[in-house]
Amino acid sequence: MKRTMAIMSRAMFVMFILSLSVRCFGQEDLDMAPMEKAEQEALYSTIQGFVGDSWNGSDLYPDPCGWTPIQGVSCDLFNGFWYVTGLNIGPVHDNSLSCTQDLQFRPELFKLQHLKSLSFFSCFQSQNRFLATIPTGNWEKLAGSLESLEFRSNQGLIGKIPLSFGLLKNLQSLVLLENGVTGEIPSSIGNLMKLKKLVLAANYLTGRIPDVFGGLNELLIFDLSSNSLSGSLPLTLGRLTSVLKIDVSNNHLEGNLPNEFANLKNLTLMDLRNNRFTGGLISSLQEMPSLEELVLSNNPLGGDIRVLKWENLKNLAILELSNMGLTGEIPESISELKRLRFLGLSNNNLTGNLSPKLETLPCLNALYLSGNNLVGEVNFSKEFLGKLGRRFGAWNNPHLCHPVGVISTNHVPYGVKPCLNEDNLLESNSKTELLDGDMNQTFHFIASMGFSSCATNGFWWTFMEKILMMGLFLILI
């Protein structure tokens, strides 16, 4: 027994010594700081350009990719050395790299030849001083590695989108969102064949949308919203057969909607609101079975709303067609869209009765029909009206009314007047006759007291007459 215990003790001692040697070996590896000196110098100079020369990385051990990495810098091993693969500048995390006011792009940035992701968030903030522009050159040096390039919320970032962005052949995501960028969209972006996300929204871009995107077969998101773009939509947008989202809202675009939209079988969101499109609804809109959100509001599109087979859009959840000059009756086929949550048809020229079949939409929680020429009664149940509440808008339909006594006052549609049926009219007429009869009796009563009913010139008689008439009117009503 003692011998066995001794053997086990020696074995444990040997294992302990081996573990120490492994630890020391690993520690020695880390202490060697396996980052090439040129790579580290390029990284430090790049960071100093954005956060200031006071930053020297002295608190990082043994380097930005070692035991104490900094938020915003990502690394990978290549041939036994650390190389920077991701650089995110801006207040994303508490301990992120914070931008200085007079930041600058240094040429050392383009020496990080394994860089896959580069982003700037809320860095270029000054709109008066320290304005910056995106470098126009050297992007070709990152062509073999860069996959994601993003500039978000940089109001002090001005100038044009560089033509040289088109050289980034491996780029999958190009995002310029909420910056001060101006000028036209460069046609060279059409060369980015691997692009999956193109977001150039909320800038000051002008000119036409270049007709160069037809070859981007992997594109999923196409967002040019909130700029000052003009002209018509390129027909080649219909070739983006993989696209899931198209958003060109809040621009100055015009012309007819392209029939080529029928090819976008995977599209889930189309937002074209706040433009100047004309020519009416086109049949290609009903050929997109995956569509979940269709927003066309605030376009002078015009035409009859009944031209489309709405029942084809089975996945539609949001349908916003307000302020478009649409005519015709609300199609009952819309009631077949069982996933519909929002229906906006306000401020059009729609006519006819309001179909009670809309109540059968199980997911509907917002229905806006105000500012049309709808007629007849609102024949929705109190449960349906109670569910929608103020999210049911039908005001400014002069000939639309709600039945009296059927709907409680808590569920009466806002801005919709009560229907005047025969009973209401008889009651109203009887009150009028009663009022007229009592008025005649009052005049006889006044005359019997010695006042002439024709003597209306005296001040006191006029005053007394008004007092008596107002009192009688209040009693009768």
Do residues 174 and 149 lie in contact, with contact meaning Cβ atoms separated by under 8 Å?
yes
Query: Which band of pLDDT confidence, cut at 50, 70 and 90, is reported for residue 286?
Result: very high
Mean pLDDT of 147-153: 97
Domain boundaries, the chain: 81-418, 433-476
Upper half-sphere CA count for residue 317 (Cβ side, 13 Å):
6
Mean pLDDT of 139-159: 96
Do residues 413 and 392 lie in contact, with contact meaning Cβ atoms separated by under 8 Å?
yes
- C-alpha distance from residue 213 to each of 187, 223, 243 (Å): 9, 12, 11
Mean pLDDT of 111-135: 89
Query: Which band of pLDDT confidence, cut at 50, 70 and 90, is reported for residue 27?
Result: very low
pLDDT for 411 equals 80
Output phi, psi for 326, to 5 deg. Answer: -70, 150
Q: Is the pLDDT of residue 347 over 70?
A: yes
Query: Which band of pLDDT confidence, cut at 50, 70 and 90, is reported for residue 35?
Result: confident
The answer to which of 223-227, 343-347, 391-395, 413-417 has the lowest mean pLDDT is: 413-417
Containing 466, the helix (H) or strand (E) segment is: helix 459-476
What does the pLDDT look like over 246-255, one tens digit per residue? 999 999 999 9
Q: Is the pLDDT of residue 440 over 90?
A: no
Query: Which band of pLDDT confidence, cut at 50, 70 and 90, is reported for residue 130?
Result: confident
> In this structure, what token pair is assigned to residue 450?
């010695």
What does the pLDDT look like over 56-113, one tens digit per residue? 777 777 777 877 667 789 999 998 899 999 999 988 766 678 888 888 899 999 999 9
Highest averaged pLDDT of the listed ranges 66-70, 149-153, 386-390, 409-413: 149-153
pLDDT for 421 equals 65
CA-closest candidate to residue 192, choices 210, 165, 220: 165
- Domain 81-418 fold is 3.80.10
Q: Is the pLDDT of residue 4 over 70?
A: no
Q: Is the pLDDT of residue 154 over 80?
A: yes
Q: Is the pLDDT of residue 385 over 60?
A: yes
Query: Which band of pLDDT confidence, cut at 50, 70 and 90, is reported for residue 441?
Result: very low
> In this structure, what token pair is assigned to residue 247?
């958003």
Instruction: Provide the pairing of β-strand 81-89 with 73-78.
Output: antiparallel
Q: Is the pLDDT of residue 383 over 60?
A: yes
Instruction: Provide the pairing of β-strand 252-255 with 228-231.
Output: parallel
Do residues 113 and 82 lie in contact, with contact meaning Cβ atoms separated by under 8 Å?
no
pLDDT for 28 equals 40
pLDDT for 101 equals 83
pLDDT for 10 equals 56
DSSP state letters, 38-53 = HHHHHHHHHHHHHH-T
**Residue holding tokens 């126009």?**
136
Q: Is the pLDDT of residue 429 over 70?
A: no
Model pTM above 0.85: no
- C-alpha distance from residue 327 to each of 286, 287, 334, 350 (Å): 18, 22, 15, 5
54 contacts: CB under 8 Å, gap ≥ 6:
none
What does the pLDDT look like over 213-237, one tens digit per residue? 999 999 999 999 999 999 999 999 9
Q: Is the pLDDT of residue 123 over 50?
A: yes
Do residues 389 and 413 lie in contact, with contact meaning Cβ atoms separated by under 8 Å?
no
For the chain, the average pLDDT equals: 83
Query: Which band of pLDDT confidence, cut at 50, 70 and 90, is reported for residue 13?
Result: very low
Which residues are registered as beta bridge partners of 327? 304, 349
